[in-house]
Amino acid sequence: MDTVLPKVIVSLAQRVIEENGNAGLKIATAESCTGGLVSAALTEIAGISAAFPAGYVTYSNDAKVAMLGVDPKLIKSHGAVSQPVVGAMAEGALEKSRADIAVSISGIAGPGGGSAEKPVGTVMFGLARRGQPTKTILKQFGAEKNRAEIRRDATIYALELLLE
């Protein structure tokens, strides 16, 4: 298959579609720092429209609020890169898309923007499933990695979450 994405990501996306499709689950995404890379990986798979109703790229805080219904007070008190916000992003994607499972990603891909509390390479993930509590995960991909590596690693991890 010809693709612009690394084959490892496309093959992982293929597994996500097969396993979730076999279980009858529809998938949605809510992405910030990955800028749509998870959605791009999923849409590399032919026939994906039956299993992927929507992907949201909400890079700005305003987009998180407008498109996903994230409470601006959460962003103000915790920051966009936080477990409460990625949880709300995943839940918003689930609700807006009517999917069965949604993954969300918000992080600091660098090279700037990090802090002592949230250094470059900090990425938060949310996983929401209908009828189950939303799960949030903090990952540190490492400040020594460059922007592309952090975004790639976050994309892979998000796809792996969809296989749980």
For the stretch 87-117, pLDDT in tens is 999 999 999 999 999 999 999 999 999 898 9
43: confidence class by pLDDT, cuts 50, 70, 90: very high
The H or E element containing residue 104 is strand 101-107
| Residue pair 128/105 in contact by the 8 Å Cβ criterion | no
Q: What is the DSSP letter of 115?
A: -
For the stretch 113-162, pLDDT in tens is 989 899 999 999 999 999 999 999 999 999 899 999 999 999 999 999 99
